[in-house]
Amino acid sequence: MAPPLMLLKNIRLTFGGRPLLDGAEISVSAGERLGLVGRNGSGKSTLLKIAAGSVEADDGERFLQPGATVRYLPQEPDLSGYKNVRAYVEAGLTQGDDAYRAQYLMESLGLSGDENPTRLSGGEARRAALARAIAPEPDILLLDEPTNHLDLPAIEWLEAELRSSRSALVLISHDRRFLQTLTRATLWLDRGKTRRLDQGFAAFEAWRDEALAQEETDRHKLDRQIEREKDWLRYGVTARRKRNMGRMRALDVLRETRRNARGPQGTVKLEVTEAEKSGALVIEAKHVGKSFGERTIVSDFSIRIARGDRIGLVGANGAGKTTLLNLLTGALSPDQGTVKVGSIVTIATIDQRRASLDPDMSLRDALTGGGSDSVDVGGQTKHVVSYMKDFLFSPEQAGSPVKALSGGERGRLLLARALSQPANLLVLDEPTNDLDLETLDLLQEMIADYPGTILLVSHDRDFLDRTVGSVVVAEGEGHWVEYAGGYSDMVAQRGRGVDARAAAAGAERERQASAGQTSPTSRKKLSFKDQHALDSLPQQIKKLDAEIAKLEKRLADPALYARDPAAFASATEALTRAQAQRSDAEDRWLELEMMREELAG
């Protein structure tokens, strides 16, 4: 087995008086695809910072192979001190790296490179940081929540980019589909320690549940053993008038073991306060249209939403999902058509920008509205501190301001407040942002059990598949189409997802329209991105040809399968992938070459 490129061993770190990391370990080999998972607050980001060398552990060993290159994507990148985005991205390159690739990545992520870093949104800053991390094609990529603030086209583009990358990946993400697609091994950080599963994330949750069930069994056995020893202490010692000091010491050890056992972190308890049942018809929209200036957001859209429906809205950022949501709920008036909201409809909303949270308000007041210490939930009155504990907040946080919370904690606070309000229509605009996998599971179960109606905007494909009965998709130019089923069902019916190429084409059409252009033939030359692709694809095809030839030669060995079935399966999978990549590259080169000839006239 090849030595690891990076090794973290017996990492320990105390934070705020408690052990955050207590013997954590990571081993990363060349080309490895490793998912790092665990609850919010378990120390995943800190462990990744230690791997990147930006945080020093209290104890433990960090080893990096001499000459190995590492790039790290933080959750909150710092672009201060750079003239523009291009300067920031290119500062991550080293001698021999391809500057054209940096420009290609910026354009693929919707950036020109000329943007002023001080004026970037959180999403734009994150896309710039992604380009900086990926551009050098390092030996090891450490990515902390790379899909945060990305829309579906960008997520699917990034997924494809990382699948074709030769870099080893260590990936933190709460996007199940993203993890399932990219990981080949899973590292679980739990109560300060790491446990490794040599399978991708698809196998992780069943393995984790089995491990936790075994822990519970072991704790139960330990409790029973302690009770037996205590019983002996009460009755057996006095009967013999002589203390068995060895057995007494053993009981002390058992008690100490039980005291020091850190059980799994608590889980969020989601309860819904339901309002009076709505009428059978919740929303009816007929031939609705809405424009802002010259841009049409919604064009001739009709839908009937009945009580109990779960509707998902998907599309690229800027497609108008929130606008359509506001039209359907009556928060925004249409330019054309009508929207009728049914009788006895009471709405509770979780908004993606967390705008409804006053940053200076305390958690107690955010949940109670101020002037009270209780919350009405599910027909029962609960003390606010007890309700906070249901969402994993400590009693000490009751007086803390909202601005002191992390992104995940703000998401949980919004959930807590929305679910305490009497409602029969839940409007969830990106509710999964910053929530860990276990909380996502509970939110999914709550949606399944909720007797009312739900409108959901999300970029999380797996979450959509698990929760909605139909998906409304932005098809471009203001057209929205409803498909039965979840996201995967929509892809099967539509023939594609909300893919990056379609989004890029739509953006290019919009750019051409704003510049007074009417068709690609009106351009005088290829875009920078297309020209770079045209120049670089032949070399990429040549490399793929060499890889395919090497794999075919290996698979031609008749004894390979009998000798090593796993290696045979891996080589077969790699050959299929390389052949598909070569076919795609050839198609793209032919498409660009025809475009170049057409533009040349």
Binding site residue list for ATP: 38-45, 315-322
**Whether 505 contacts 346, CB under 8 Å:** no
Q: How far apart are CA 226 and CA 334, in angstroms?
A: 69
Distance from C-alpha of 154 to C-alpha of 174, rounded to nearest angstrom? 16
Return the H-helix or E-strand segment holding 15: strand 6-15
Kindly tell me the burial class for residue 211, based on how many C-beta atoms sit within 10 Å of its own C-beta (0-12, 13-18, 19 or more): middle
* Binding site as annotated, residues: 38-45, 315-322
CA-based radius of gyration for the chain: 28
Side-chain-side CA neighbours of residue 74 (13 Å): 13
Closest CA to 462 of 158, 160, 155: 155
Q: For the beta carbon of residue 59, count every other beta carbon within 10 angstroms.
A: 12
CA distances from 555 to 30, 149, 184, 550, 572 (A): 22, 42, 22, 9, 7
Is residue 356 within 8 Å of residue 414, measured between CB atoms? yes
Angle at 45 between CA 85 and CA 76, to 5 degrees: 25
How far, in Å, CA of 580 to CA of 121, rounded? 36
User: How far, CA to CA in Å, does 510 sit from each of 131, 291, 322, 514, 515?
Assistant: 24, 15, 20, 6, 9
Number of Cβ within a 10 Å radius of residue 519:
8
